[in-house]
């Protein structure tokens, strides 16, 4: 049975999240560096992705980007005491699930039968992966989890914004251009909202 790269990478993220344990290593080569290596190894570009039509690269890569965000958001309910964060994650998952369906629908409509073109070198993708650690996220609870989730999701959103802004002028179909522009607007609002959340956490409690 043929398994798509997007489905396979998503499965790997879930499997890693389920089995992740904090690693205690001495020296400069352990800890976050090791976790970053694991995160990067899970998501690799499709073969010859850069040779595919640019719009297809955007569709496939943004779909994977959204899958990553959904898996991060799926961890929230069991790891936070914040109802506000739970509600935000639930809303985020619903929106991104809808957008993934749009992206895949356009892929089938205009690029049916073409090999996947997930390109991890598209502008915004390297930034999205910076600081990502499934091990840190899955091993955290309560306020520690809240802060790590917001930091990682903020970075992830900023990568999506850069990808969409860079891609918009190069996209072929008006529907995808509109999608990219709306994504930038929506995720900028979410980044601002998460910044306000962090500010409220830092404020002295009365």
Q: What would the two tokens of residue 93 be?
A: 């998952």
Task: Give the global pTM.
Answer: 0.78
Range scoring the smallest mean pLDDT among 6-10, 190-194, 195-199: 6-10
Q: How far is CA 153 from CA 79, 158, 198, in A?
A: 15, 8, 12
- CA atoms of 146 and 45, how far apart (whole Å): 30
Q: How many residues does the chain have?
A: 206
* CA distance linking residue 12 with residue 56, whole number of Å: 23
- pLDDT band at 206; cut points 50, 70, 90: low
- 3-class state of residue 134 by DSSP: helix
CATH 2.60.40.10 fits 44-200, yes or no: no
In this predicted structure, the answer to whether residue 54 has a pLDDT above a threshold of 70 is: yes
| Mean pLDDT (whole number) for 23-35 | 36
Distance, CA of 119 to CA of 117 (rounded, Å): 6
- Would you list the domain boundaries of the chain? 44-200
Give the pLDDT band (50/70/90) at residue 28.
very low
pLDDT in the model for residue 5: 46
Q: What Cα–Cα distance (Å) separates residue 165 from each residue in 137, 160, 177?
A: 28, 8, 10
In tens, the pLDDT along 126-183 reads: 888 887 777 888 889 999 999 999 999 999 999 999 999 999 999 999 999 999 999 9
Highest-scoring range by mean pLDDT, 12-26, 40-54, 109-123: 109-123
Alpha carbon distance 80, 173 (integer Å): 40
pLDDT (tens digit per residue) in 72-103: 999 999 999 999 999 999 999 999 999 999 99
**6 with 64: CB under 8 angstroms?**
yes
Residue-level pLDDT at 44: 85
CA nearest to 25, candidates 15, 35, 17, 11: 35
Percent of the chain with pLDDT over 90: 67
Amino acid 31: pLDDT: 39
Residue entry with tokens 């520690």: 144
């Amino acid at each position: 049975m043929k398994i798509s790269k997007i489905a396979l990478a998503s499965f790997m993220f879930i499997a890693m999240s389920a089995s992740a344990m904090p690693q205690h290593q001495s020296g400069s080569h352990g800890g976050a560096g090791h976790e970053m290596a694991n995160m990067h190894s899970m998501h690799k570009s499709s073969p010859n992705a850069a040779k595919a039509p640019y719009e297809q690269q955007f569709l496939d890569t943004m779909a994977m980007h959204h899958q990553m965000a959904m898996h991060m958001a799926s961890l929230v309910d069991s790891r936070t005491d914040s109802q506000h964060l739970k509600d935000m994650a639930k809303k985020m998952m619903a929106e991104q699930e809808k957008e993934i369906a749009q992206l895949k629908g356009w892929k089938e409509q205009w690029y049916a039968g073409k090999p996947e073109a997930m390109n991890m070198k598209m502008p915004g993708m390297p930034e999205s992966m910076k600081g990502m650690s499934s091990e840190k996220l899955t091993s955290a609870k309560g306020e520690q989890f809240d802060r790590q989730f917001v930091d990682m999701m903020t970075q992830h959103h900023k990568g999506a914004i850069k990808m969409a802004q860079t891609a918009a002028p190069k996209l072929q179909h008006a529907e995808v251009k509109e999608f990219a522009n709306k994504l930038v607007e929506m995720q900028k609002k979410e980044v601002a909202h998460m910044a306000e959340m962090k500010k409220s956490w830092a404020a002295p409690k009365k």
